[in-house]
Structure 1
């Protein structure tokens, strides 16, 4: 047996072997990876595993070699790579039927769907996240949630929150914690807090790595480059995790989203929520707020930023967001 790194984007032969092994293991070849390991028996690829960010995925072992302890070897090699990259908390995608194998290697299951199981190792873990958000829980019965990247916070976001706040006792706003946006996480979180300060029944919370993150829904950040089939699996996972594990601890009964005429991946996410949510968790889709004939969107604001069209931006965002934009302009 020999072990080597596979350069999937440079080696067509290795890519073909990798794809065939994954399909034979009933896995979708997802080439959104930073690092891929292969184990060979002579010239045959008999085991593989990949890393994307702090996620282990696409782990497959040829059935002929299932008794060779190759799974442990693959996972251990991937752990070494993660530690070298500075990750001590990492996630795993796998098939539900083999969860027990990864539990024996120290992983804990967070959630599973019909297609995929989502597990983790290290910390701070999911249970600690639940404790964090529960600390902000209000003793109300009619509660709603909105998840947003807010890159940056716009009048469109504010409109959605205001509509939810009119019809619910408490509205929990989950601001995406990923550092993959034009505005950093701390700034986005603060701008949402400042923008809703006048709404006393709104609570702003982080998502950490458990709602629309590189762990639960990496395709969200690829937008038009994402594979639709992969995006649907990830969107479903994210929706089920929210419904079964997050909404209950805050007694959330409604989740609000805006219509999505601009992003196919976000539309897939809305469809997944509509399908997965039940009578216990209602999905309310509101028309997007418009200025003139165009919807107000963060992407529109970012495009105007590139054009340095600051006066056009002023009418699209709350004053607190505009002040931040002008501050960053000076810097």
Structure 2
């Protein structure tokens, strides 16, 4: 924070590797305080070994942050998403190219916390209608199951499908950097969630889908989470006719919609009936024999 006597005139903060809440009083914006604040934050982050940094800013601030070494990832008329350091988005795109298979594809992004029969149904449906299916599993460790465990459950649950490739998202799809409101669920402000969801959808459509020749994004409908429903709506608006969005009705068993939330509750309550009903055998065995 920067003060003029006792008046706060500039401030900024960071959370892990994300710079946020940077502001300069309008009466002091000609004094290069923004650069001073950001430079100070970067020094503090490096002390904490945060060498890869993200930030959201307004598009008109691009030149200032570019001069500090930040590179644009994606932008819309309201928000610019940038990063500094390595490994960066270019490295992630090279990683995706290494995973690319021949043929047009579909994309699915999931947390899989844990991987349920509903997730499996979504992937199997996409696999029936696509030459290739790329399943992106969230890399954020903000879930009951670790990133490694969720990746393992997804890979085991789709191993019978020869045209499915499972890939971690890193920090470029539904992450604390691109879409922090996703992890707040019902506590998130929906207006903010909409802005973040729109940017996340644009990043997928403009930078990731063309690289892998993804023509369709498959999602499940969302009767439980308002934030996820906002995400589905944002994708519909952003994709328009450039990327096809398929929203599948959520799979039900005995008239009950499958949800990972219900599964996590059943795990706490040791309700074997629910677990056997909602989980594919691969996930059931994974949870049973790794806990």
Shift of 1:312: 2.0
- Separation (CA, whole Å) in 2 of partners of 1:70 and 1:198: 57
- Separation (CA, whole Å) in 2 of partners of 1:242 and 1:70: 34
Q: 2:229 aligns with which of 267, 290, 303?
A: 267
- Separation (CA, whole Å) in 1 of partners of 2:65 and 2:148: 34
Shift of 1:46: 1.2
If asked which structure has higher relative contact order (CA below 8 Å, sep 6+), I would say 2
1:172-187 matches, within 5 Å, as 172-187=134-149
- Separation (CA, whole Å) in 2 of partners of 1:294 and 1:50: 44
Classify the secondary structure of the residue corresponding to 1:152: coil
Deviation string for 1:105-125 (max 9, x for gaps)?
110110001111000001110
- Separation (CA, whole Å) in 1 of partners of 2:47 and 2:192: 28
Shift of 1:58: 2.1
TM-score by length of 2: 0.97
Shift of 1:311: 3.3
Q: 2:12 aligns with which of 44, 49, 55?
A: 49
1:298-313 matches, within 5 Å, as 298-313=260-275
- Separation (CA, whole Å) in 2 of partners of 1:326 and 1:139: 37
Shift of 1:83: 2.2
Aligned to 2:112: 150
1:124-135 matches, within 5 Å, as 124-135=87-98
Q: Is the 8 A contact 2:35 2:64 kept in 1?
A: no
- Separation (CA, whole Å) in 2 of partners of 1:228 and 1:167: 33
Shift of 1:45: 1.9
Query: 66-75 vs 234-243, which deviates more?
Result: 66-75
Q: Is the 8 A contact 2:106 2:126 kept in 1?
A: yes
Aligned to 1:223: 185
Q: 1:199 aligns with which of 143, 146, 161?
A: 161
- Separation (CA, whole Å) in 1 of partners of 2:4 and 2:263: 54
Which consecutive segments of 4 or more residues in structure 1 shift more than 6 A?
none
Shift of 1:72: 1.6
Instruction: Count residues with an aligned counterpart.
Output: 291
Deviation string for 1:248-281 (max 9, x for gaps)?
0001010000000000100110010010003220
Q: 1:279 aligns with which of 230, 241, 249?
A: 241
1:108-147 matches, within 5 Å, as 108-141=71-104, 143-147=105-109
Structure 1 residues 48 and 146, CA, compared in 2 at 3 Å: closer, same or farther?
Answer: same
- Separation (CA, whole Å) in 2 of partners of 1:312 and 1:158: 16
Q: Is the 8 A contact 1:58 1:94 kept in 2?
A: no
Shift of 1:63: 2.6
Deviation string for 1:221-243 (max 9, x for gaps)?
01011111111111111000000
- Separation (CA, whole Å) in 2 of partners of 1:56 and 1:250: 30
Shift of 1:325: 1.2
- Separation (CA, whole Å) in 2 of partners of 1:167 and 1:176: 23
Aligned to 1:97: 60
Where does the alignment leave 5 or more consecutive residues of structure 1 unmatched? Answer: 1-37
- Separation (CA, whole Å) in 1 of partners of 2:192 and 2:15: 14
